[in-house]
Amino acid sequence: MKIIIGSDHAGYRLKQEIKKFLLENKFKVLDTGTDNLDSCDYPEYGFKAAQAVSLKKVNRGILICGTGIGMSMVANKLPGIRAALCHNIKGARLSREHNDSNILVLGAKFTSRDLAVRITRAWLKTKFSGGRHRRRLKKLAAIEKIL
């Protein structure tokens, strides 16, 4: 599975830890940056990653900023993106089972390295359950077409 990952300066350290976890577990990883702790603007990095998911150049994405809110807002502007800001393992699982989320968003100020890895692992392992949830995703897609 090919994963794209991006962060702003506030999420940089956690991004590096998640990237290390992904590589150790044999995922193909593309990194959109940022590459340091210098202050930067989250939309630049969130857009690059979300665009790759939207265009199906990668299977899924992971975005990290200080709170996760900004990255969520950016990612969910793009067609076909279902970015989920997850603060715990259960939320990560449900975002996949019920919403078929294709981008995981983490808030570095609220999520420890260990918890972030556990959230990421659960999110990657969980499959979309389909059923009634597929009907709801079709409704989301219809709304997207109107906009």
> Does residue 35 sit in helix, strand or coil?
coil
Q: Is 65 a catalytic residue?
A: yes
Alpha helices by DSSP H, the chain: 12-24, 42-54, 69-75, 89-97, 113-125, 132-146
Pick the catalytic residue from 40, 87, 98, 133: 98
- Three-state DSSP class for residue 4: strand
The single-letter code of the amino acid at 111 is: T
Q: Do residues 60 and 3 touch, judged by C-beta distance below 8 A?
A: yes
- The helix/strand/coil state of 64 is strand
Q: Catalytic site residue 133?
A: no
Q: Which of 9, 65, 87, 133 is catalytic?
A: 65
- Neighbouring CB atoms inside 10 A of 89's CB total 16
How many residues are given for the chain? 147
Q: What is the set of active-site residues?
A: 65, 98
